[in-house]
Amino acid sequence: MAPSATARSTPTAVTFGEALVVLVQDRPGALERSPGFTRSLGGAETNVAVGLAALGVPVTAITRVGDDGFGRFIREELDRLGVDTRAIAVDPAHRTGVYVKEVGGDGSAPTDLGAGRSRMHYYRTGSAGAHLRPAVLDEPAVAAALAEASLVHTTGITPALSDDAAAAQRALVSAMRGRVPISFDLNWRPALWSDREEHGRTLLSGFLRSADIALTGLDEAEEVFGIRTAEELRRAFPEPRRLIVKDNGGAVVAFDGEDRVVVPTPARVDVVEAIGAGDAFASGLLAGILDGLPLDEAVEGGHRAAARALASTTDHVAAGADR
């Protein structure tokens, strides 16, 4: 059921996707030598929600967590970080998803990833987030959040989790398309599409074409679509008004209709590890778009938020980002 339209005096955002608990090594180096782990939040859409809240954008997270301590932690932590949690459902039958972040150290151990590198180990199969269904849109708290939204953000991760989650995301896009801008970050995760890569390419192509704001990296575009340049990607996907193409630390090429801008990255960024930087970029970009900034200035805001994420082992930028 599509939400009713309401006046939106203050731009607000909604994110849709799985929220995860992240266990990050207390000490960089070989995973088996880590003496302990620090608990944090994760999930691409969750990271964007936290980043938007840090930038002063009212934001509601639509997701599903287990009726367990990790699920309670996610809701409490998002509350603490300024994200509206009224649309987070508690699933009594399925657990909250978890992943462990392995962080490279000085390379002294044979299994150490090395400085600036990280790897994720997921324990999310059958999670509460994978059991999002189209009926979630009819839940009163979700319908109310969508009725107030000025923008909806989704990614290519959620539809990879299960057929139900994919159907829920399609229902969301169908309900909101033409009402508010829909943002979609490709976020291609090959492990989630194992043995069904062609289905994934077809499904994510549809979400990309349905978006008003589409984000992808050139490396993803080549892997998923065999496309190697931003211009070729624009020709293949003319539908999104704004198409943002990132180039692994190089300049971002951004299209707004027929207009094209190139925005270089900051000259120097100290990298601790890279996970979460793309989500931080999305939050800075979307905050700028909601503020009505020109596209090049919105992209610059994305770069600033990404730089903060690169300097941290957490997946999100929680406070103090420069708009």
Q: What is the CATH number of the domain that holds 187?
A: 3.40.1190.20
| 94 CB neighbour count, 10 Å cutoff | 18
Domain membership of residue 221 (yes or no) is yes
Domain contains 199: yes
Q: What is the pTM of this model?
A: 0.89
Please return the burial class of 258, using the count of CB atoms within 10 Å of its CB with bins 0-12, 13-18 and 19+: exposed
Q: Cβ atoms within 10 A of the Cβ of 31, count?
A: 18
- What are the DSSP E strand ranges found in the chain? 13-16, 20-25, 37-42, 59-66, 88-91, 98-103, 118-123, 151-155, 182-185, 213-217, 242-246, 252-256, 259-263
> Is residue 316 domain-resident?
no
Instruction: Give the whole-angstrom CA distance, residue 183 versus residue 15.
Output: 9
Does a structural domain hold residue 34?
no
- Whether residue 102 lies inside any domain: the answer is no
Residue 155 lies in a domain: yes
**In whole angstroms, what is the distance from residue 321 CA to residue 271 CA?**
17
**Which residue segment(s) compose the domain that 153 sits in?**
13-18+43-91+131-310
Nearest-angstrom CA–CA distance, 145 and 60: 7
Please give the backbone phi and psi of residue 91, each rounded to the nearest 5 degrees, phi first: -95, 115
Angle, to 10 degrees, between the axis of helix 69-80 and the axis of helix 44-54?
A: 30
Q: Answer whether residue 222 is part of any domain.
A: yes
Q: Which residues are catalytic?
A: 279
Q: Check residue 275 and give its pLDDT.
A: 59
Question: What is the pairing mode between strands 213-217 and 252-256?
Answer: unpaired
Single-letter code of the amino acid located at 44: A
pLDDT tens, position by position, for the chain (323 residues)?
444 444 446 889 999 999 999 999 999 999 999 999 999 999 999 999 999 999 999 999 999 999 999 999 999 999 999 999 999 999 999 999 999 999 999 999 999 999 878 888 999 999 999 999 999 999 999 999 999 999 999 999 999 999 999 999 999 999 999 999 999 999 999 999 999 999 999 999 999 999 999 999 999 999 999 999 999 999 999 999 999 999 876 799 999 999 999 999 876 556 444 456 889 999 999 999 999 999 999 999 999 998 875 555 454 555 543 44
Angle between helices 197-210 and 163-176 (to 10 degrees): 10
Q: How far apart are CA 68 and CA 102, in angstroms?
A: 24
Exposure of 202 by Cβ count < 10 A (0-12 exposed, 13-18 middle, 19+ buried)?
exposed
271 within domain boundaries = yes
Please give the Cα distance from 98 to 216 (Å, whole number): 25
Q: What is the pLDDT of residue 321?
A: 39
State how many domains the chain has.
1
**Predicted pLDDT of residue 6:** 44
Terminal C-alpha separation, the chain: 36
pLDDT at 267: 60
- Count CB-CB contacts under 10 A for residue 76: 11
